[in-house]
Amino acid sequence: ETRGFLDARIADITATAGVSQGSFYHYFDSKEQVFREVAERQEQQLTAPPSEAALRFDPADTARQRIAKANRRYLELYRDEARIMGVIEQVSRYDDEVHDGRESRQKHFAERAERFTRRLQEEGLADPAVDPGIAATALGAMIGRFAELWLVQGWADYDFDLAADQLTILWCNALGLPRE
């Protein structure tokens, strides 16, 4: 994380972890293998269904409030781990295993968002003309890419609350949800 994946050496990893190189090689064959483990766990954390305590959904929450809480949670987790997320993005461009792991998690996230959108349509809250699969993929990409550009690449210095609120407005408008 501090040197970037390409410049990191096994000695750096073991020194940071406080273990010997022999211990490292007992569990891992290479820095690529340990990085794949780190990347997989990080991606799981970002896309895993949150615990009830993590989001604190109130049964009375509206769809807009649930989307806002989920977006905020994702951005908070991404912000807190922005440095490692930048390294994961870098490595995913040339390491097929890391790329496949990211893609698998993104698909999982999109499937959850698609189910949520379908449910909103069935309840008459979301625009029935919106394709749930396309919307889920596009909106997930919007949040993920925005987080990378903002929190990793530093394209702009947005206020966190403003950015989270604006992304929620965009998401809700895309689904045609009523304003509250």
Comparison of pLDDT for 119 and 44, the residue scoring more: 119
Amino acid letter at 138?
A: A
Q: Which domains does the chain have, with CATH numbers?
A: 31-175 (1.10.357.10)
pLDDT of residue 52: 46
Task: Write down the pLDDT at residue 21.
Answer: 72
pTM for the structure as a whole? 0.74
Q: Residue 175 and residue 133: Cα distance in Å, rounded?
A: 12
Cβ neighbors of 89 (< 8 A, separation 6 or more) are: 148, 152
Per-residue model confidence as pLDDT tens digits over 36-93 = 677 677 666 665 555 544 445 567 789 999 999 999 999 999 999 888 888 888 888 8
- Compute the average pLDDT of residues 8-36: 71
User: Residue 66's closest CA among 108, 107, 112?
Assistant: 112
